Structure 1
Amino acid sequence: MKITKLEKKKRLYLMELDNQQTSYITEDTIVRFMLSKDKVVSKEELTEIQAFAQFSYGKNLALYHLSFKARTEKEVREYLKKYELDEKITSQVIANLKEDNWINDRQYAYSVINANQLSGDKGPYVLIQKLSQKGIAKSTIEDVLMDFDFSEVAQRVAEKLLKKYTGKLPARALQDKIIQNLTNKGFSYSDAKKAFDDLDSQVDQETTQELIFKELDKQYTKYARKYEGYELKQRLTQVLARKGYDFSDIASALREYL
């Protein structure tokens, strides 16, 4: 069979043979097999050319996708699926890219976790979930996590939350709020509790008193319409306890207020 045409079509080249057979091939294929017009190729050579052209096309697509940012193996596979490549070809492309370190799930996990250490706010459990969704093996993620200490991240998040809620919540409610936020972000309860305990500043007693009297002003107006005496005191105690105030602070405030 003889090549009768090699014509560029955007990213690919159209190769026509004298038996009317056509194939789309990459520039890498032309270079690898030294193809040119009027070159004679055997049936076996054509099969090899077509297989390499598919591999080269898939690799070029993957490298284009990877040129914007690092991707996991799963992300590259999903991208190549859009182009309906043969699964065998896709696997060959992935294997080649992994060999050349274009795809490295462990390195990807390390980069994400390290970036979180520097400026993020996620704990290990959330990171495991997010990286698992990108197709990285849980064992790989957990192995990488062993290189990191999350105490500084937890402390940074706790300090930020303290600034946000100080003056708005009493001490007990503030502690519950900060610990709950930290656990929601993927930190263990023990790490969250330690981060709170290590905070340099706490809500002082004066701030608590200001908050509790402000709350009493609001709740007294509401409950004094229906209750009085012991029943009023009980109602106010219950509502303040639900707001996160300690019973000792509530009792002290009510002695002064009522």
Structure 2
Amino acid sequence: MRITKIEKKKRLYLLEVDESEKLYVTEDTIVRFMLTKGMVLDEETLKEIQIFAQFSHGKNLALYHISFKQRTEAEVRKYLTEHEISSEIIGQVLETLKEDRWIDDAKYIENFISQNMNNGDKGPFVLKQKLLQKGIAAQLIDQEMTKTDFSELSEKVGQKLVKKYQAKLPAKALKDKVVQALSNKGFSFNQAQAAFTSLEIENDEENELDLLYKELDKQYRKYSRKYEGYDLKQRLIQALARKGFGFDDINSALRDYF
């Protein structure tokens, strides 16, 4: 068999053998086998060229995909599968890229967490879910996650939440709101509780009373249409307690109504 044509086609080269058999190869393949027009090939060499060409093409595709941003092993595997690279070649490509540290899921996790610690507000549970969606093994995620102390981040996020809600909620409701918000962001209940406890929160009694009377006016307008006397008072106490106001403050405020 003789190479009758070598022609550049964008990223690949068209290799024609005996003016009949055609295959696309990478520049690395041309260099590795020192392919030239007129070169004579045997069956074994042609098979080696075909196998290496597939591997080289798969590797080049993977490196192109990685060049835009860091990728996980699963993301690269999916990309190569979508480009119809065989599973056997994909396995070889991934092993090579991991050996050369182009793919490193542990490093990906480390960078992912670091970015969140610097610019994000998510706790470990949300981060784990996002990393699982990237195709990373849960065991590796847990292993890397234990290296990070999230207490400082939880306190920073908690402080922002306090500033957002403090003027709108009484003390008890504020705590419930902040702890729940931190939990929704992926911090454990214990982390959320500890974060709130660590914050220095000034108790603004004047603002809390103002909030109480505003809420009482609102609830009074709502329930006074259907209830009166003892029933109305009990409804108001229950409604205000659910909003986080203390019973002593509620009873004191209700004296203006009954």
Shorter-chain-normalised TM-score: which range? over 0.9
Task: Give per-residue Cα distances to partners, 1:106-137, cap 9 Å, x unaligned.
Answer: 00000001111112111111111111221212
Query: What SS does structure 2 have at the residue aligned with 1:67?
Result: helix
Q: Whole-Å Cα distance in 2 between the matches of residues 32 and 108 of structure 1?
A: 32
Match of 2:65 in 1: 65
Given residue 105 of structure 1, which amino acid in structure 2 is its aligned partner? Answer: D
Task: Give per-residue Cα distances to partners, 1:72-124, cap 9 Å, x unaligned.
Answer: 00000000011111110010000000000000000000000111111211111
Match of 1:109 in 2: 109
Given residue 219 of structure 1, which amino acid in structure 2 is its aligned partner? Answer: Q
2:232 matches 1:232:
yes
Question: Higher mean Cα deviation, 27-36 or 214-223?
Answer: 214-223
Q: Whole-Å Cα distance in 2 between the matches of residues 162 and 7 of structure 1?
A: 67
Match of 2:49 in 1: 49
Structure 1, unpaired ranges of 5+: none
Question: Higher mean Cα deviation, 238-247 or 218-227?
Answer: 218-227
Q: How many residues align?
A: 258
Give the TM-score of the pair, scaled to structure 2.
0.96
Runs of 4+ displaced beyond 6 Å: none
Q: Whole-Å Cα distance in 1 between the matches of residues 134 and 76 of structure 2?
A: 10
Question: Higher mean Cα deviation, 139-148 or 248-257?
Answer: 248-257
Shift of 1:175: 0.9
Q: Whole-Å Cα distance in 1 between the matches of residues 203 and 102 of structure 2?
A: 51
In 2, are the aligned partners of 1:166 and 1:203 still within 8 Å (CA)? no
In 2, are the aligned partners of 1:73 and 1:103 still within 8 Å (CA)? yes
Match of 1:129 in 2: 129
Match of 2:83 in 1: 83
Query: What SS does structure 2 have at the residue aligned with 1:173?
Result: helix
In 1, are the aligned partners of 2:4 and 2:19 still within 8 Å (CA)? no
2:244 matches 1:253:
no
In 1, are the aligned partners of 2:58 and 2:85 still within 8 Å (CA)? yes
Match of 1:161 in 2: 161
Question: Higher mean Cα deviation, 201-210 or 175-184?
Answer: 201-210
In 1, are the aligned partners of 2:113 and 2:127 still within 8 Å (CA)? yes
Given residue 244 of structure 1, which amino acid in structure 2 is its aligned partner? Answer: G
Q: Whole-Å Cα distance in 1 between the matches of residues 31 and 124 of structure 2?
A: 48
Give the TM-score of the pair, scaled to structure 1.
0.96
Question: Higher mean Cα deviation, 194-203 or 102-111?
Answer: 194-203
What RMSD over aligned residues (CA atoms) do the two structures have, in Å? 1.3
Given residue 116 of structure 1, which amino acid in structure 2 is its aligned partner? Answer: N
Match of 1:180 in 2: 180
In 2, are the aligned partners of 1:171 and 1:202 still within 8 Å (CA)? no
Shift of 1:24: 0.5
